[in-house]
């Protein structure tokens, strides 16, 4: 086990969600866990509040930045947003697969043209949705089948990464191959962390052994009595699971 001031060997597979309302709180929270989280995820709350300054939080700590804006708009608007994100030096950026083929293709072309190393991630099915939620949206398929359909659509348009729950990782890995970047939110440690508003969750071990590339963890670390220790424990589990995968 690593000490809190040492870089964990599995940290590149852990993204910590900076779900904080202010830049000062995000900076303090990120500093506590940067030894174990090689990726810091900036979501809607923080980015709307602080803008590009939020991206600099990760860069100052030597972490990759995951800009989780879930872009879903007309192709030209999304393409321009991709260019802006690339200009900020972020490593990962999310777009909704439901935006359709033209939007996805435009995003993929622009990321390639910018040539900054930006990895686009397509949202397949949000982990807060279950079969009844999809049915209310007019989707007859279950979450697993719909996630696979969305992933294939995005992959065909040149999107290299997908966001999916732990339940879908294995099927997406088999369908998309070893080069696909599979990112898994809704991660909850096996030691009884609350599911909160997530309906399709999984443990770090189950996701990694199923083929996940990167795990996203927020509240189980942020709300722990000792966030640094919680992040280290998750990385320890990732490292053990990676050895068995």
Distance CA 20, CA 5 (A): 23
Residue 199's φ and ψ, nearest 5 degrees, are -105, -20
Number of residues written out for the chain: 245
How many CB atoms sit inside 10 A of residue 171's CB?
Answer: 17
DSSP one-letter code for 226: S
How many CB atoms sit inside 10 A of residue 44's CB?
Answer: 11
Task: Say whether 131 sits in a helix, a strand or coil.
Answer: helix
Q: Which of 13, 41, 60, 70 is catalytic?
A: 70
**Contact by Cβ (8 Å): 238, 168:** no
Q: Does residue 41 carry a catalytic annotation?
A: no
Distance CA 150, CA 208 (A): 21
Distance of CA 70 to the CA centre of its chain: 10
Which residues make beta-bridge pairs with 42? 67
Which residues make beta-bridge pairs with 217? 16
User: What tokens does 53 get?
Assistant: 């300054």
By annotation, the residues acting in catalysis are: 70
């Amino acid at each position: 086990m690593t000490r809190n001031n040492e870089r964990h060997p599995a940290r590149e597979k852990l993204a910590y969600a900076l779900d904080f309302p202010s830049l000062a709180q995000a900076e303090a929270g990120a500093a506590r866990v940067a030894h174990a989280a090689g990726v810091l995820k900036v979501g809607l709350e923080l980015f709307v509040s602080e803008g590009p300054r939020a991206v600099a939080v990760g860069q100052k700590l030597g972490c990759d930045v995951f800009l989780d804006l879930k872009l879903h708009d007309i192709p030209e608007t999304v393409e321009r947003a991709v260019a802006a994100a690339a200009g900020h030096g972020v490593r990962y950026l999310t777009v909704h697969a439901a935006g359709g083929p033209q939007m996805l293709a435009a995003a993929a072309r622009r990321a390639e043209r910018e040539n900054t190393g930006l990895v686009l991630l397509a949202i397949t099915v949000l982990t807060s949705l279950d079969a009844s939620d999809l049915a209310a949206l007019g989707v007859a398929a279950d979450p697993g089948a719909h996630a696979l359909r969305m992933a294939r659509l995005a992959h065909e348009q040149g999107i290299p990464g997908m966001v999916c729950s732990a339940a879908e990782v294995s099927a997406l890995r088999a369908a998309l191959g070893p080069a696909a970047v599979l990112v898994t939110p809704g991660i909850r440690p096996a030691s009884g962390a609350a599911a909160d508003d997530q309906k399709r969750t999984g443990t770090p071990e189950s996701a990694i052994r199923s083929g996940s590339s990167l795990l996203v963890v927020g509240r189980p670390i942020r709300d722990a009595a000792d966030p640094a220790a919680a992040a280290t424990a998750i990385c320890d589990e990732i490292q053990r699971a990676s050895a068995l995968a």
